[in-house]
Amino acid sequence: MSASRLLTPVVKRKKLADVEWNVIEDFCKGCSFCIEFCPVDALEESDRLNAKGVHPPKLKSEDACIGCGLCETLCPDFAIYLEKKEGKGDKE
Amino acid sequence: MSASRLLTPVVKRKKLADVEWNVIEDFCKGCSFCIEFCPVDALEESDRLNAKGVHPPKLKSEDACIGCGLCETLCPDFAIYLEKKEGKGDKE
Amino acid sequence: MRVEIRIGGFGGQGIIRTGLILATASCVFGDKNAIQSASYGPESRGGRCKSEVIISDEDIDFPKVEQPDILVIMSQEAYVGYVDDLKENGILLVDPDLVPNQRKDLKAKIYEVPAAKIAEGLGKKIVANVVMIGAFAAITNLFDVGQMKESIKRNVPKAFLELNLTAFEKGYEHGKNIITVKAS
Amino acid sequence: MRVEIRIGGFGGQGIIRTGLILATASCVFGDKNAIQSASYGPESRGGRCKSEVIISDEDIDFPKVEQPDILVIMSQEAYVGYVDDLKENGILLVDPDLVPNQRKDLKAKIYEVPAAKIAEGLGKKIVANVVMIGAFAAITNLFDVGQMKESIKRNVPKAFLELNLTAFEKGYEHGKNIITVKAS
Amino acid sequence: MTVIQEFEKHPLAKYLRAERFPHIWCEGCGDGIILHCFVKALDDLAVDIDKFVVVSGIGCIGRAAGYVKCDSFHTTHGRPIALATGIKLANPKLTVAVLSGDGDLFAIGGNHFIHAARRNVDLTVICSNNFNYGMTGGQSGPTTPLDSYTTTTPYGNIEHPFNLVHLAAAAGSVYVARWTVLHVRRLAESIKKALRKKGFKFIEVISPCPEIYGRRNKLGKAIDIMKLYRQISEIRHGYDPAKAEITREKIVVGEFIDIEKPTYGELLQKQFIKIQQKLSEG
Amino acid sequence: MTVIQEFEKHPLAKYLRAERFPHIWCEGCGDGIILHCFVKALDDLAVDIDKFVVVSGIGCIGRAAGYVKCDSFHTTHGRPIALATGIKLANPKLTVAVLSGDGDLFAIGGNHFIHAARRNVDLTVICSNNFNYGMTGGQSGPTTPLDSYTTTTPYGNIEHPFNLVHLAAAAGSVYVARWTVLHVRRLAESIKKALRKKGFKFIEVISPCPEIYGRRNKLGKAIDIMKLYRQISEIRHGYDPAKAEITREKIVVGEFIDIEKPTYGELLQKQFIKIQQKLSEG
Amino acid sequence: MVSQREVLTGKHLMQGDVACAEGAIAAGCKFFAGYPITPATEIAERMARRMIEVNGMFVQMEDELASMAAIIGASWAGAKAMTATSGPGFSLMQENIGLAVMTETPCVVVNVMRGAPSTGQPTEGAQQDVMQSKWGSHGDYSIIALAPASVQEMFDLTIECFNLAETYRAPTFLLADGFTGHLWERVVIPSPEEIKIVERKKPVVSPDKYMPFKPDEDLVPPMACFGEGYCVHVTGLTHDELGYPKTTDPKVQHKLVNRLCEKMRKNANRIVRTYESMLEDAEVAVIAYGIPSRASLNAVKKARESGIKAGLLRLVTVWPFPEKQIEELATRVNAIVVPEMNCGQIVREVERVAKETPVHLLSKIGGELHSPSEIFEAIRRAAGI
Amino acid sequence: MVSQREVLTGKHLMQGDVACAEGAIAAGCKFFAGYPITPATEIAERMARRMIEVNGMFVQMEDELASMAAIIGASWAGAKAMTATSGPGFSLMQENIGLAVMTETPCVVVNVMRGAPSTGQPTEGAQQDVMQSKWGSHGDYSIIALAPASVQEMFDLTIECFNLAETYRAPTFLLADGFTGHLWERVVIPSPEEIKIVERKKPVVSPDKYMPFKPDEDLVPPMACFGEGYCVHVTGLTHDELGYPKTTDPKVQHKLVNRLCEKMRKNANRIVRTYESMLEDAEVAVIAYGIPSRASLNAVKKARESGIKAGLLRLVTVWPFPEKQIEELATRVNAIVVPEMNCGQIVREVERVAKETPVHLLSKIGGELHSPSEIFEAIRRAAGI
Ligand SMILES: Cc1ncc(C[n+]2csc(CCOP(=O)(O)OP(=O)(O)O)c2C)c(N)n1
Ligand SMILES: Cc1ncc(C[n+]2csc(CCOP(=O)(O)OP(=O)(O)O)c2C)c(N)n1
Ligand code: SF4
Ligand code: SF4
Ligand code: SF4
Ligand code: SF4
Ligand code: SF4
Ligand code: SF4
Ligand SMILES: [Mg+2]
Ligand SMILES: [Mg+2]
Convert the pLDDT of each residue in H85-124 to its tens digit. 999 999 999 999 999 999 999 999 999 999 999 999 999 9
Is the pLDDT assigned to residue E193 strictly greater than 60? yes
Residue D88, chain G, CB below 8 Å: the answer is no
* C184 — pLDDT class (breaks 50, 70, 90): low
For residue D162, give its domain range: 2-183
Residue E279, chain F, CB below 8 Å: the answer is no
Beta pairing partners, H47? none
From the list H374, H359, H190, H382, the residue with the least C-alpha distance to H292 is H374
Query: Which chain G residues have a beta carbon less than 8 Å from that of D44?
Result: none
Q: HSE of E81 in the Cβ direction (CA atoms, 13 Å)?
A: 34
- What is the Cα–Cα distance from E105 to E111, expressed in whole angstroms? 9
The answer to whether H168 touches H264, Cβ cutoff 8 Å, is yes
Angle made by CA atoms A19, A8, F219, in degrees to the nearest 5: 105
- What is the Cα–Cα distance from E92 to H77, expressed in whole angstroms? 9
Tell me the three state secondary structure of residue F73: strand
Picking from H76, H77, H96, the nearest residue to E76 by CB comes out as H96
Q: If you average pLDDT over every residue of chain H, what do you get?
A: 97
The answer to whether G303 touches G284, Cβ cutoff 8 Å, is yes
| Continuous H helices in chain G | 2-6, 16-27, 41-50, 64-76, 87-102, 130-135, 151-168, 178-182, 250-266, 268-271, 292-305, 323-332, 346-354, 372-382
**pLDDT-wise least confident of D152-161, E122-131, E188-197, H20-29:** D152-161
**Where among H194, H229, H250 does a domain terminate?**
H194
- What is the Cα–Cα distance from D167 to D180, expressed in whole angstroms? 20
Query: Do residues H190 and H282 share a domain?
Result: no
pLDDT in tens, A39-62: 999 999 999 888 777 899 999 999
What pLDDT is stored for residue G73 in this prediction?
98
Size of interface F-G (CB pairs under 8 A): 135
Is the pLDDT assigned to residue H327 strictly greater than 80? yes
- What is the Cα–Cα distance from G89 to C112, expressed in whole angstroms? 47
pLDDT in tens, A20-41: 999 999 999 999 999 999 999 9
Residue type at E81 in one-letter notation: I
How many C-beta atoms surround the C-beta of residue C96 within 10 A? 14
What pLDDT is stored for residue G31 in this prediction?
98
Q: If you average pLDDT over every residue of chain G, what do you get?
A: 97
Rounded distance from Cα H115 to ligand 10 centre (Å): 23
Query: Which chain D residues have a beta carbon less than 8 Å from that of G247?
Result: 41-43
Percent over 90 (pLDDT), chain G: 98
Q: Is B75 in the pocket of ligand 6 (CB under 6 A)?
A: no
Picking from G38, G58, G64, the nearest residue to E136 by CB comes out as G38
Is the pLDDT assigned to residue A1 strictly greater than 50? no
**Ligand 6 atom having least distance to the Cα of B43:** 7
What pLDDT is stored for residue C41 in this prediction?
60
**Where among H174, H194, H214 does a domain terminate?**
H194
What pLDDT is stored for residue B17 in this prediction?
81
Residue G248, chain D, CB below 8 Å: the answer is yes
- Looking up residue H373, the CATH number of its domain turns out to be 3.40.50.920
What pLDDT is stored for residue A41 in this prediction?
96
Mutant choice from G179, G185, G293 vs C, greatest count of C C-beta within 10 A = G185
- Looking up residue G189, the CATH number of its domain turns out to be 3.40.50.970
**G265 assigned to some structural domain:** no
What pLDDT is stored for residue B4 in this prediction?
40
> How many folded domains does chain F comprise?
1
Average pLDDT over residues G152-174: 98
Mutant choice from H13, H189, H301, H364 vs D, greatest count of D C-beta within 10 A = H13
Average pLDDT over residues F233-253: 97
Tell me the three state secondary structure of residue G17: helix
**A89 assigned to some structural domain:** no
E strands within chain F? Answer: 52-56, 71-74, 95-101, 123-129, 175-180, 200-206, 233-235, 251-258
- What is the Cα–Cα distance from H263 to H320, expressed in whole angstroms? 10
Angle made by CA atoms G114, E19, E31, in degrees to the nearest 5: 65
Average pLDDT over residues G7-12: 95
Q: Is chain H touching chain D, with at least 3 CB–CB pairs below 8 Å? A: yes
- Looking up residue E38, the CATH number of its domain turns out to be 3.40.50.970
- What is the Cα–Cα distance from G65 to G62, expressed in whole angstroms? 8
Q: Is F60 in the pocket of ligand 8 (CB under 6 A)?
A: yes
Query: Which chain F residues have a beta carbon less than 8 Å from that of E162?
Result: 114, 118, 171-172
pLDDT in tens, G86-141: 999 999 999 999 999 999 999 999 999 999 999 999 999 999 999 999 999 999 99
- Bridge-based pairing state of the strands G335-340 and G317-319: unpaired
One DSSP character per residue, G245-290 reads B--S-HHHHHHHHHHHHHHHHHTHHHH--EEEES-TT-SEEEEE-S
Q: If you average pLDDT over every residue of chain E, what do you get?
A: 97
- Bridge-based pairing state of the strands E175-180 and E52-56: unpaired
> How many folded domains does chain D comprise?
1
Q: Which residues contact residue G219 at a Cβ distance below 8 angstroms, ignoring those fewer than 6 apart? A: G259, G262, G263, G266, G267
Q: Is chain E touching chain G, with at least 3 CB–CB pairs below 8 Å? A: yes
Query: Do residues G185 and G61 share a domain?
Result: yes
pLDDT in tens, F54-69: 999 999 999 999 999 9
Is the pLDDT assigned to residue A10 strictly greater than 80? no
- What is the Cα–Cα distance from C105 to H143, expressed in whole angstroms? 52
**B32 and E230 in contact by Cβ < 8 A?**
no
Beta pairing partners, F23? none
What pLDDT is stored for residue F281 in this prediction?
83
What pLDDT is stored for residue B92 in this prediction?
38
Query: Which chain E residues have a beta carbon less than 8 Å from that of H75?
Result: 86, 90
- Which portions of chain B are predicted below pLDDT 50? 1-6, 8-10, 88-92
Three-state SS for chain E is CCHHHHHCCCCCHHHECHHHCCCCCCCCCHHHHHHHHHHHHHHHHCCCHHHEEEEECCCCHHHHHHCECCEEEECCCCCHHHHHHHHHHHCCCCEEEEEEEHHHHHHHCHHHHHHHHHHCCCEEEEEEECCCECCCCCECCCCCCCCCCECCECCCCCCCCCCHHHHHHHHCCCEEEEEECCCHHHHHHHHHHHHHCCCEEEEEEECCCHHHHHHHCCCCCHHHHHHHHHHHEEECCCCCHHHCCECCCCEEEEEEEECCCCCHHHHHHHHHHHHHHHHHHC
What pLDDT is stored for residue D41 in this prediction?
60
The answer to whether F207 touches F180, Cβ cutoff 8 Å, is yes
What pLDDT is stored for residue E2 in this prediction?
86
G66 to chain D nearest CA, in Å? 26
For residue E241, give its domain range: 3-281
- What is the Cα–Cα distance from H110 to G288, expressed in whole angstroms? 36
pLDDT in tens, F139-184: 999 999 999 999 999 999 999 999 999 999 999 999 999 999 999 9
Query: Which chain F residues have a beta carbon less than 8 Å from that of A26?
Result: 3, 22
Beta pairing partners, G85? G111
The answer to whether G285 touches G319, Cβ cutoff 8 Å, is no
For residue H164, give its domain range: 10-194
* D46 — pLDDT class (breaks 50, 70, 90): low
Average pLDDT over residues H194-214: 97
**C45 and E63 in contact by Cβ < 8 A?**
no
* H4 — pLDDT class (breaks 50, 70, 90): low
**G213 assigned to some structural domain:** no
**G303 assigned to some structural domain:** yes
The answer to whether E113 touches E171, Cβ cutoff 8 Å, is yes
**F36 and A36 in contact by Cβ < 8 A?**
no
Q: Is chain H touching chain G, with at least 3 CB–CB pairs below 8 Å? A: yes
From the list F23, F30, F20, the residue with the least C-alpha distance to F212 is F30
pLDDT in tens, G168-184: 999 999 999 999 999 99
Q: Exposure pattern of H248-277 as b/e (b: 16+ CB <10 Å)? A: bbbebbbbbbbbbbebbebbbeebbebeeb
Q: HSE of C17 in the Cβ direction (CA atoms, 13 Å)?
A: 19
- What is the Cα–Cα distance from E110 to G139, expressed in whole angstroms? 29
Q: HSE of H314 in the Cβ direction (CA atoms, 13 Å)?
A: 20
pLDDT in tens, E47-106: 999 999 999 999 999 999 999 999 999 999 999 999 999 999 999 999 999 999 999 999
What's the Rg (C-alpha) of chain D?
15
* C46 — pLDDT class (breaks 50, 70, 90): low
Beta pairing partners, D169? none
Tell me the three state secondary structure of residue H82: strand
What pLDDT is stored for residue H385 in this prediction?
85
**pLDDT-wise least confident of C114-128, E96-110, F102-116, G152-166:** C114-128
- Looking up residue A55, the CATH number of its domain turns out to be 3.30.70.20
Query: Do residues G65 and G155 share a domain?
Result: yes
**G344 assigned to some structural domain:** yes
**H253 and G128 in contact by Cβ < 8 A?**
no
Picking from G13, G298, G372, the nearest residue to C20 by CB comes out as G13
Q: Is E211 in the pocket of ligand 7 (CB under 6 A)?
A: yes
Residue F44, chain A, CB below 8 Å: the answer is no
Angle made by CA atoms C34, C38, C41, in degrees to the nearest 5: 170
Chain F's closest residue to A79, CA to CA, is F7
The residue whose CA is least distant from atom 4 of ligand 5 is: B31
Q: Is A70 in the pocket of ligand 3 (CB under 6 A)?
A: no
**G268 assigned to some structural domain:** no
**H327 assigned to some structural domain:** yes
Q: Is B70 in the pocket of ligand 6 (CB under 6 A)?
A: yes
- Looking up residue D101, the CATH number of its domain turns out to be 3.40.920.10
Predicted TM-score (pTM) of the model is 0.97
Is the pLDDT assigned to residue H140 strictly greater than 80? yes
The residue whose CA is least distant from atom 2 of ligand 3 is: A75
What pLDDT is stored for residue H260 in this prediction?
98
Is the pLDDT assigned to residue G368 strictly greater than 70? yes
pLDDT in tens, H234-280: 999 999 999 999 999 999 999 999 999 999 999 999 999 999 999 99
If one residue of A4, A35, A38 were mutated to test the ligand 4 pocket, choosing by the most ligand atoms within 8 A of its CB, it would be A38
Provide the residues around ligand 9 (an ion) whose CB is within 5 A: E 101-103, 130
> How many folded domains does chain H comprise?
2
How many C-beta atoms surround the C-beta of residue H55 within 10 A? 12
Query: Which chain D residues have a beta carbon less than 8 Å from that of G248?
Result: 39, 41-42
- What is the Cα–Cα distance from F223 to H64, expressed in whole angstroms? 35
Provide the residues around ligand 10 (an ion) whose CB is within 5 A: F 101-103, 130
Picking from E77, E133, E140, the nearest residue to G88 by CB comes out as E77
Q: Which residues contact residue H32 at a Cβ distance below 8 angstroms, ignoring those fewer than 6 apart? A: H24, H44, H47, H51, H56, H57, H58, H59, H71, H81, H82, H83, H84
F210 to chain G nearest CA, in Å? 25
Tell me the three state secondary structure of residue H367: coil
Is the pLDDT assigned to residue F47 strictly greater than 90? yes
